Amino acid sequence: MKGRILTSLLAMMAMAGIQAQETPGAPRLVVGLTIEQLRMDYIEAFSELFGTQGFKRLWKEGRIYQNAEYDFAPVDKASAVASIYSGTVPNLHGIVGNAWMDRSTLQVVNCVEDPQFMGNYTSESTSPVRLKVSNLADELMVATQGVSEVYSIAPTREMAVLAAGHASKGAFWINDETGKWCGTTYYGNFPSWVSAYNDRHGLDFRIGDMTWAPYLPVNRYKHVTTETKQLTFKHKFDDERRNKYRKFKTSPYANEEVNRLVNACLNATTIGQDYIPDLLTLSYYAGNYGHQPASKLPLEMQDVYVRLDAQISELLDIIDRKVGLANTLFFITSTGYADAEPIDDAKYRIPTGEFHIKRCAALLNLYLAAIYGEGQYVEAYHEQEIYLNHKLIEDKHLNLVEILNRSSEFLVQFSGVKDVYSSQRLMLGSWTPEIGKIKNRYNKACSGDLWMEILPGWTVVRDHSLDSKVVRDIYASAPLFFLGWDVKPGIDHSPIKIGNVVSTLTHFMRIRAPNAALLPPLTDIRK
């Protein structure tokens, strides 16, 4: 279809003031790679273990920004990907996290769950309906009147769908139960090339024979010092019948599966084959295996980055062979967070404590009942947020602002609580550097009425999931790499915002930025 209407589309672009010429004014293909939990310090620490065609190639031929920052907190994979491709923050795009409390049902909902759209090769019902703004994929489809080839491939559905946006031709992720690449009917018919891959080369046919062992001689993995004594490691995914695919997706082998489907996509479609820009959004995983502490798996952690280097090299080679890197604008960035580390051993005497949101919510309810009379004033809680019962407050003709202020004053007295931010304070209060990141994450449609900031070193006990996390308020930057079409090599140490990414991409692509993109494109990046 693209080939048949290429001439007319270029004519339309020319009439709109965009020069239609044989030498294109935009890259044929944009490839975005978001790597979950990628860390710049690990890239630097393990560089001696890398080959020449992965990170070292990016360093030599690409434009590197060592300190890209997320302008909100906390960050997770869903809010990160939504922010990268929309160019804005959760306050506007609506994805405050992987999941949040639904006020109407008082149930925790997944950010891409949507019962209106069935799954392909999955029982999950999925859509991007909770993403409230346009993103890069949407704007490209609008600019080309739906002609561009736009696909998203990721191990997890949140990262796949939120990068794909509203208008893509498909988003694909690995099914947790079957290992098949799956999707959603939201994007229309499931592509035959993905079905063919599942039928002939699906992960489920191969996982029984797959074992993760060191990529390099284990004596070269000497760059991390821990108390854990490891001689080597070997993980066989098929040993864990019920969770084998979930466990697999936290290994570097998940990245190889992404590369396999990318290759199938480039072979089966016309992506990158004409002067109308196309888009391929991808995700890798570079976190800890099974989300275990890195201190317990020092060899695996180093092996993840060695394999990641090789996988990036392979991806660049696939793209170069099929499209040409000279025709491709390629970028890599990180989700900007890491799995929580466990509490430090008591022998080090680092101040700590436990914060229980469940206990906190119960005591707040008793406090409000003592002041305003009996009732369930606290409707629900999730993570570090408390949701008040607005209907009860309205029925009792109480002042919500007064209750929010009283609640904040009460909660801030709890041990381990650094500060309490009410919805009123976040929406209408004065801006300060301390409040800015929390304000940017707050969204009135799905955030709680009260958000508690916990002291560093304290453990937040998640009663709903029977796990916990240690608060570490440390500076976290995300590396950002550009490579390929019209990119001027160089290294920039100055901090930039992750919101600069999408406006830079749209500038290269000669299309408008997403409708809530807040920041300008990066300067001095083009040749």
59: Cβ contacts below 8 Å, ≥ 6 apart: 491
Beta-strand relationship, 354-356 and 459-462: parallel
Q: What are 340-346's contacts with CB under 8 Å, separation 24+?
A: 340/468, 340/469, 340/470, 340/472, 341/293, 341/294, 341/295, 341/470, 341/472, 342/293, 342/295, 342/470, 343/459, 343/470, 344/457
In angstroms, the Cα distances linking 330 to 27, 103, 256, 276, 319 are 10, 40, 18, 16, 10
> How is residue 161 written in tokens?
């769908």
Question: Which part of the chain has CATH 3.40.720.10?
Answer: 25-341+474-509
> How is residue 63 written in tokens?
């434009």
Q: Which amino acid does the sequence have at 96?
A: V
Question: Which part of the chain has CATH 3.30.1360.150?
Answer: 354-470
What pLDDT is stored for residue 11 in this prediction?
A: 41
Sort 400 into a burial class: Cβ within 10 Å, 0-12 / 13-18 / 19+: middle
Q: Which residues pair with 421 in a beta bridge?
A: 451
Q: Cα–Cα–Cα angle for 454, 83, 254, nearest 5°?
A: 90
With residue 335 as reference, give the H or E element that holds it. Answer: none
pTM, two decimal places? 0.93
What pLDDT is stored for residue 7 in this prediction?
A: 41
Report the chain (527 residues): mean pLDDT per 10 consecutive residues.
Answer: 45 41 74 96 94 96 95 94 98 96 90 97 97 98 96 98 98 97 98 97 94 95 77 86 90 98 97 95 95 87 97 98 96 91 81 91 97 96 94 97 97 95 91 87 94 92 71 79 96 94 96 95 91
What pLDDT is stored for residue 6 in this prediction?
A: 45
- Which overall architecture, per CATH, does domain 354-470 show? 2-Layer Sandwich (3.30)
Chain centroid to CA 160: how far?
A: 9
What pLDDT is stored for residue 513 in this prediction?
A: 97
What pLDDT is stored for residue 501 in this prediction?
A: 97
Q: Rounded to the nearest 5°, which phi and psi values hold at 66? A: -80, -15
- The Cβ-side half-sphere exposure at 252, using a 13 Å CA radius, reads 21
Q: Which CATH number applies to 25-341+474-509?
A: 3.40.720.10
Beta-strand relationship, 29-36 and 278-285: parallel
Q: Rounded to the nearest 5°, which phi and psi values hold at 359? A: -65, -40
